[in-house]
Amino acid sequence: MNYLTPEEYEKFNIEDCLYILNAVADLDLADLYNKLIITEEDIEEINKNPKDVKPEIMEKIYNFCYNNGLFINDILWLETKEQLENDENLLLSHGSRVNIKGNIRLDASGDSNDFSNGFYLGENLKQAGMFVSNEPDSSLYIVEFEPIGLTMKKFNVSTDWMLAVAYYRETIDEYKNSDRIKELISDIEKCDFIMAPIADNRMFQIIDAFTDNQITDVQCKHALSATNLGYQFVMKHKDTLPNINIVKHLYLCDVEKNKYNILGQEESNTSLNKAILAKKRFNNTGKYIKDIL
């Protein structure tokens, strides 16, 4: 497998897309270009440098594929996962609001994420796609990660996970000097990477209700379990960087973004209803944050 170099992180490679079109759709490229009204200059540019194609050309080709039931990125994800994932390597995804520029950094994500700064990766393309589908210049990356030799802090949906997210989101400042919080954050900061459930906006509303003493830890945990977004991997230490290889940069077209927007809304509605039921079912069970800390 040829990994991308930092100089290639921003670029879009059309070769995989055209190969799939030719192999799966059995589509003549000249006919494709004619249907897409791609100019001779554009065709010349594609042929001259297929590893650095303009986004507007990618948009035409990708939208054509998705409108005709050919989900290029899903195919590439499954194919790459089959090739690379094994007992030593994980194949993960990264959703970028803007293309990665230069070397991977741990300080580019901002302080307001679940675990503050770090390089965030997801288990599948759906996670990454739903998180960046509303961004105009967003795209997806397939990333190979080798965790061997690195230290990990793993969370499930638990009180400690809720407290950690609330701490990094700066919603429990009045408790940040408690012994439990200091010990928890110390453990996190010592590790190389974190494996934890993903928290999105609807989760934050539930966690905020817990930190405001509106619901108990048991209610919060069961409500959060209902959202079921899967796990994220957060690279916290520079020692993780040599273990990360970007395999592919995937273009995210308007049709695919719309698909992720609809999927996200459907899952949000279902999860919200499950969360309401969980809070009611476990009413008066568990402890409030003021009693825990």
Dump pLDDT digits (tens) for 251-276: 999 999 999 999 888 877 777 787 78
Q: What is the pLDDT of residue 23?
A: 78
Query: Which of 97-106, 136-145, 244-253 has the lowest average pLDDT?
Result: 97-106
Phi-psi domain of 225 (left: phi exceeds 0; alpha: psi -120 through 50; beta: other): alpha
Q: Which two tokens stand for residue 42?
A: 């554009």
Q: Provide the 3-class DSSP secondary structure of residue 95.
A: strand
Half-sphere exposure for 76 (CA within 13 Å, toward CB): 26
Instruction: Find the mean pLDDT for residues 98-115.
Output: 82
Q: What is the pLDDT of residue 110?
A: 62
pLDDT at position 8 over 60: yes
Q: What is the pLDDT of residue 118?
A: 92
Q: How many CB atoms lie within 10 A of CB 168?
A: 20
Instruction: Find the mean pLDDT for residues 6-25.
Output: 87
Q: Which two tokens stand for residue 83?
A: 């090739």
Q: Quote the mean pLDDT of the chain.
A: 88
pLDDT at position 9 over 90: yes
Q: How many CB atoms lie within 10 A of CB 274?
A: 16
pLDDT at position 237 over 90: yes
pLDDT tens for residues 198-221? 877 667 888 888 899 988 999 988
Q: Judge if pTM exceeds 0.75.
A: yes
